[in-house]
Structure 1
Amino acid sequence: MIDQAIIEFDKALRTVFAQARSVRPVPGGELPDAPLTDEEREHVAALMRVNHCGEICAQALYQGQAMMSRDESVRRELQQASNEETEHLAWTEQRIAELGGRKSLLNPLWYGGSLALGLLAGKLGDRWNLGFLAETERQVEAHLNGHLGQLPAEDRKSREILEQMKADEARHADTAVGLGAHELPTPFKAAMKLISRVMTTTAFRV
Structure 2
Amino acid sequence: MTQRDYSPADRVVMGLAEGLGSLFGGSRQTPSPPAAAPGAALDDAARREAANLMRVNHAGEVAAQGLYHGQALTARNPETRRHLLEAAGEEQNHLEWCESRLQELGDGPSRLRPLWYGASFAMGAAAGLFGDRWSLGFVAETERQVSEHLDEHIQKLPAGDAKSREVLQAMRADEQRHGLEAEHMGGAPLPAPVRGLMRRIAKVMKEGAYRF
TM range (shorter): over 0.9
Classify the secondary structure of the residue corresponding to 1:32: coil
Could you tell me whether the CA contact under 8 Å between 1:26 and 1:91 is conserved in 2? yes
One-letter amino acid of the structure 1 residue matched with residue 147 of structure 2: E
Determine the structure 2 residue equivalent to 1:8: 15
Q: Which residue of the partner structure matches residue 17 of structure 1?
A: 24
Q: 2:5 corresponds to which residue? A: none
Q: Shift of the alpha carbon at 1:162?
A: 0.4
Q: Which amino acid aligns with 1:138?
A: R
Q: CA deviation at 1:166?
A: 0.5
- Which residue does the alignment assign to 2:80? 74
Runs of 5+ in structure 2 lacking a partner?
A: 1-7
Displacement of 1:6: 2.9
Per-residue CA distance 1:45-92 (angstroms, 9 max, x = gap): 010000000000000100010111111221121112111100000000
Listed as ranges, the matches of 1:82-161 within 5 Å are: 82-161=88-167
How many angstroms apart in 1 are the aligned matches of 2:92 and 2:40? Answer: 26
1:36 counterpart (42, 45, 67): 42
| Offset at residue 4 of structure 1 (A) | 4.1
**Partners of 1:30 and 1:22 in 2: how far apart?**
21
Matched residues in 1 for 2:162 and 2:10: separation?
Answer: 44
Contact 2:15 2:70 (8 Å CA) reproduced: no
Cα distance change, pair 38–113 in 1 and its aligned pair in 2 (3 A):
same
Amino acid paired to 1:51: N
Name stretches of at least 5 consecutive residues in structure 1 with no aligned partner. none
Contact 1:28–1:158 (Cα < 8 Å) also in 2: no
Distance in 1, Cα, partners of 2:139 & 2:64: 9
TM-superposed CA distance for 1:18, in Å, is 2.4
The TM-score, its normalising length taken from structure 1, stands at: 0.95
Please tell me whether the aligned partners of residues 12 and 73 of structure 2 are also in contact (alpha carbons under 8 angstroms): no
Indicate the percent of aligned positions where both proteins have the same amino acid. 47
Q: Distance in 1 between matches of 2:204 and 2:100?
A: 24
Cα displacement (A) at 1:33: 5.9
**Superposition deviation, residue 140 in structure 1:** 0.3
- TM-fit CA distance, 1:29: 5.5
User: For 1:120, what is the secondary structure of its paired residue?
Assistant: helix
Give the letter aligned to residue 15 of structure 2.
E
* Alignment partner of 1:202 is 2:208: yes
- For 1:159 and 1:192, the matched residues in 2 are separated by 25
Letter in 1 for 2:14: I
TM-score (norm 2): 0.92
8 A Cα contact 1:28 1:156, kept in partner:
no
Q: Which moves more between the two structures, 11-20 or 118-127?
A: 11-20
Contact 1:74 1:126 in 2 (8 A): yes
